[in-house]
Amino acid sequence: MQKTFKTLAIPDPQQLMFGRTPKPLICGFGLKLGNGQVYPELNFTLPTMALEETNWAAVVAQYEEIGSIIERAAARLKPPGLMAEFELLPPMTEHPSWGAELTSVLLRHLDQLHKDTGIPCALRVTPTDIRDVTKPPELRSGKPLELLLQSFEQCAAAGAHVLSIESVGGKEVHDEALLYGDIEGVIFALGVLASRDMEFLWERIVATCSKYNVVPGGDSACGFANTAMQLAGQGMLPEVLASVVRAASSVRSLVAYECGAYGPSKDCAYEGPVIKAITGAPIAMEGKSASCAHFSPVGNVAAAMCDLWSNESVQNVRLLSGPAPEAYFELLVYDCRLFNQALETKTENVYQNLLVSSDIHLSPQAYVLSPESTIRIASTVVRETGHYAQTLAAAREAASLLREGVQQEELQLNSRETEWLERITRELNALPADEHQMIITMQERYGHLFTANSYGL
Amino acid sequence: MKELLDLAQLLEQGQSQKVLTLTQQLVDSGLSPQTILNEGLIAGMAVVGEKMRNGEMYLPEVLQSAGAMKASLAILKPHLAREGTASRGKILIGTVKGDMHDIGKNLVTIMLQGAGFEVIDIGLNVEPQRFVTAITEHTPAVLGLSAMLTTTMLNMKTTIEAIASAGLRSQVKIIIGGAPVSQKFADEIGADGYSRDAVLAVNKVRQLMGHTSY
C-alpha cells in the first residue's frame, strides 16, 4: 500500500537543519540518526584489481583490511557514531553470495568496534542495479532482476542494517535525452519511466527489509542527476539544465518513501534535502569531502541539511598519511565535529548560513540546494498529484528559482547559461499537464530505447 | 567558395534542414562530393570540435551538428561510392566485462557516427571472447574499449590479450577511454591509443586510421 505525501514534514527552511529530523531512526548497533547529531558515513572500494573468482581471497582480504581500518580509525578519532557503506560492485551482485560474504566481513568488524568502544555504528549495503545489462533493459523479469533481488535478500540475511540502491529504470531514455538537451525526454524519463520502475522495485525491497528487520534506506538519482552534474562539471552541459534535472529527480527518489522506505537516503542523492523536507526522514549527503570520488560545485551547501556526511567512495590505496579510507574517515569525522559543535552550542543556523552562502551565489546547482529552494521545490511536489505532474512542477519550480535568483542578483549566469534557462523554461511550459499524450509522443521518439513492458505501460 | 563556407557555418549552428538543403544544392550543382565533404562538412565539424574543447559549445549543440553531418553524409554517400570513397571505416565499440557504464561509450559512438564512421556498438559488460567474435564477424579497422571502474579497467588488458591470442591483434587498432584510464595505462596494456573525451576520440580514430582529411 503506497503512502502519498500531501504536506511537508519540515515546512520551515529554518528548521531544515543538519543533524535534526522530525522522524529520527535507530539502526544497527544503536546508531540514532536525525536525533541531534551528524555522523560520518564512510564509503570505500577496491583498489585497481581484478574482481573474479580466481582472486576472490584477495578481494575478501581487502574488505578485511578496510574493516580493520574502520575499527582502528574510529577508536582513534572517537566519533559519536558512524555508518559504513558497502556499495557492491556489479560482479558482487551478479554473485549474490559474494555480496553477502563481504557484508558478513564488514559486519563482524563493526560488531567488534561496538563491543570494544561502545561507538554506535551501522552497515549500509547497496547492491548494484544490474538490470540494464541488456538493451533495452529488461526491468521486470529475467536473470538480472532475479540476481538483484537475491542479492538484497542475501545481504539482508547476512546482517546488513540498511539497504539502498541507485536504481536505473528510465536511465536508458534519460541518458539520451540529457545528451541532446531534450527537456521533454528528461521529464518523461524521470516522471513517467523512473517513477514507475521505482514503484516496482521498492515494493520488493521494502518487503525484503520487513522480512529481515532491515531499514529500507532509499534510492539515489545518481544515474540521472549526478550524470547531469558531472557532464555540467566538464562543460558539456549547461549548469542550469543539471539544476533542473536535480529538482525533477527528487520525485522518482521520493517514490521509495511512498513504498515504505524511511531513510537514511543515499549519500549521492543530492535530492535528499527535498526528501527530508517532505518525509522528515534522515538523509546522507556528500560534498567537499567526497573529492576522492568526484568533483562538485556544491561542496558546502550539500552539507547544510545532512544527517550523515559521506565521502562517496574511496579506493583502498596508500596515501602519505596512511590508507585512503582512514584519511577520508578522518576528514569526515572533523567535518562532523563542527556540525555537532554548532548544534551543541546552538549556533547551527549561523554555521548552516555559512555553508549555504559560501556556495549558492557561484553555481545554479548550489542555488537550488539551499534550504529555501529546497522548501520551495518540496512544497510544489506535495501540492501536485501523480509523479509526472510532480516531476514537471519540480522542474518548473527550479527554473523559476533560478530566474528569480538572477533577477535578485543573488546568482550570476553567463549568456549561454541564460539562453539555456530561457529555453528550458519555454520547453517546460509547453509540456502537457497530462502524461498520456506525452507517453505516445515519447514512445515514437524513444521507443527503440525502452520496452513498455518494463514499465507496465 | 562561399557556399562551402556557408555549409560549414550552418553545420556549426546545427541547422540540420538548411545543411541538408545546401548539401543537395551543391551536389546538384556538380561540385565534387569530396570537396563538399572536406571543405564544408569536415571543416564545420572541426570548428565544432574546437569550440567544444574550448567550452564554447555544449554537448546538445555539438550533437545537433553531428546529427546534421550524419544526415548530410547520407546525401553524399552514393556520390562518394561512385568515386570509390564512401567507406570512411568501420569501428567496433563496447564496454568491457563487468562494467555497466555506457554513457561515455554512447557519446563516442554518436560523435563517430556524426563524423561519418560506421559504428558497431556491442553494448556493455562484454566478455573478451565476444569482442574476438565481433572482430572476426565485422572486421573493424578500430576497436574502442570503455571502462569506468578501477576493477574493470583491467579487463581491457584481458580483452586485448584475448584478441592477440586469437591472432587478430594486427588486424585492428585499439583505442581505450573511461574515467580511470590514461595514456600511460593504454601503453601498459598494449592499446594503440587513448582519448579523454569524445571529441578527441574522433581525432584519435582518424589518426589511427591514417586519415589526414576524409
Same domain, B199 and B102: yes
Range of the domain at B100: 90-208
**Pair B58, B107 in one domain:** no
Residue A417 domain flag: yes
Number of domains in chain A: 1
Whether B68 and B110 map to the same domain: the answer is: no
Taking the Cβ of residue B124 and every Cβ of chain A, the question of whether any pair is shorter than 8 Å is answered with yes
B47 and B107 within one domain: no
- The verdict on B199 and B110 lying in the same domain is yes
Distances (CA, A) of A199 to A171, A255, A437: 15, 6, 22
Q: Are residues B45 and B130 in the same domain?
A: no
Choose the closest CB to A179 out of B52, B55, B107: B107
Distance from CA of A356 to the nearest CA of B (A): 27
Q: Does B120 touch chain A (CB under 8 A)?
A: no
CB contact under 8 Å between B100 and A132, yes or no, is yes
Return the SS3 of A4: coil
Q: Is the pLDDT higher at B124 or at A214?
A: A214
Residues B193 and B125 in one domain: yes
Mean pLDDT score across all residues of chain A: 97
Note whether residue A286 is domain-resident.
yes
Asked if residue B99 and residue B57 are part of one domain, the reply reads no
| A18 phi and psi angles, rounded to 5 deg | -60, 140
Determine the Cα angle at A193 with ends B58 and A131, to 5°: 95
CATH number at residue B19: 1.10.1240.10
Q: How confident is the model at residue B213 (pLDDT cuts 50, 70, 90)?
A: very low
pLDDT at B87: 65
Q: Is residue B213 part of a domain?
A: no
**Domain annotation covers residue A2:** no
Other Cβ atoms less than 10 A from the Cβ of B90: the count is: 15
Are the beta carbons of A237 and B58 separated by less than 8 Å? yes
B106 and chain A in contact, CB less than 8 A: yes
B64 and B97 assigned to the same domain:
no
A179 touches chain B (CB under 8 A): yes
Of the partner residues A48, A89, A179, the one whose CB lies closest to the CB of residue B154: A48
Residue B102 lies in a domain: yes
- Does B54 lie at the interface with A, CB-CB under 8 angstroms? no
Residue bearing cell 578501477? B150
Pairing of strands A39-43, A82-87: parallel
Among B55, B63, B98, select the one facing A91 at the smallest CB separation. Answer: B98
Under an 8 A CB cutoff, do B98 and A133 touch?
A: no
Domain carrying residue A139: 13-455
A-proximal residues of B, 5-24, CB under 8 Å: none
Q: Are A324 and A316 in contact (CB under 8 A)?
A: yes
Name the minimum distance, in Å, from the CA of A219 to any CA of chain B.
18
Q: Is residue B168 part of a domain?
A: yes
H/E element holding A286?
Answer: strand A284-286
Beta-carbon separation of A45 and B151 below 8 A? yes
Domain of B96, CATH number, reads 3.40.50.280
Q: Is residue A385 part of a domain?
A: yes
Q: Which of B42, B60, B82 is the last residue of a domain?
A: B82
A357 in reach of chain B (CB within 8 A): no
Q: In this predicted model, what pLDDT tens digit does every residue of A29-72 receive, in sequence order?
A: 999 999 999 999 999 999 999 999 999 999 999 999 999 999 99
pLDDT of residue B49: 84
Same domain membership, residue B167 and residue B104: yes
B151 touches chain A (CB under 8 A): yes
Angle between helices B128-138 and B154-165 (to 10 degrees): 50
* Any domain includes B126: yes
Domain count of the fold of chain B: 2
Task: With beta carbons under 8 A apart, name residues in chain B contacting A132.
Answer: 100, 124
C-alpha distances out from residue A451 to A145, A223, A261, A386, A440, Å: 15, 19, 27, 22, 13
Q: How large is the ipTM?
A: 0.90
Which grid cell sits at A141?
523479469
- Residue B214 in any domain: the answer is no
B111 with B192, same domain: the answer is: yes
Q: Is residue B168 packed enough to be buried (19+ CB in 10 Å), middle (13-18) or exposed (0-12)?
A: middle
CA A187 to CA A177: how far, in whole Å? 9
Task: Please state, as a whole number, how many other Cβ atoms lie within 10 Å of the Cβ of residue B170.
Answer: 8
Query: Mind listing the pLDDT tens digit for each residue in A357-387?
Result: 999 999 999 999 999 999 999 999 999 999 9
A416 chain-B contacts, CB cut-off 8 A: 58
CA distance B186 to chain A (A): 15
Beta-sheet strands, E only, within A36-126: 39-43, 82-87, 121-126
Q: What is the 3-state secondary structure (H, E, C) of chain B?
A: CHHHHHHHHHHHCCCHHHHHHHHHHHHHCCCCHHHHHHHHHHHHHHHHHHHHHCCCCCHHHHHHHHHHHHHHHHHHHHHHHHCCCCCCCEEEEEEECCCCCCHHHHHHHHHHHHCCCEEEECCCCECHHHHHHHHHHHCCCEEEEECCCCCCCHHHHHHHHHHHHCCCHHHCEEEEECCCCCHHHHHHHCCCEECCCHHHHHHHHHHHCCCCCC
C-alpha cell at A184: 521533454
Q: Whole-angstrom Cα distance, residue B203 to residue B49?
A: 9
Which residues of chain B neighbour A237 with C-beta distances below 8 Å? 58-60
Q: How close B117 gets to chain A, by Cα (Å)?
A: 20
A5 within some domain: no
Residue A83 has what pLDDT?
98
CB A405 within 8 A of CB A361: no
Query: What pLDDT, on a 0 to 100 scale, did the predictor assign at position B77?
Result: 85
What's the rounded mean pLDDT across residues A411-415?
Answer: 96
Residue range A244-298, pLDDT digits in tens:
999 999 999 999 999 999 989 999 999 999 999 999 999 999 999 999 999 999 9
Read off the DSSP letter of residue A158. T
pLDDT in tens, A333-364: 999 999 999 999 999 999 999 999 999 999 99
pLDDT value at residue B85? 64
The contacts of residue A11 (CB under 8 Å, 6+ apart) are A277, A375, A379
As a whole number of angstroms, the distance between CA A142 and CA A138 comes to 7
Q: Which residue of A has its CA nearest to B65?
A: A180
Same domain, B70 and B94: no
* B123 contacts chain A (CB < 8 A): yes
B153 occurs within a structural domain: yes
Cell matching residue B117? 564512421
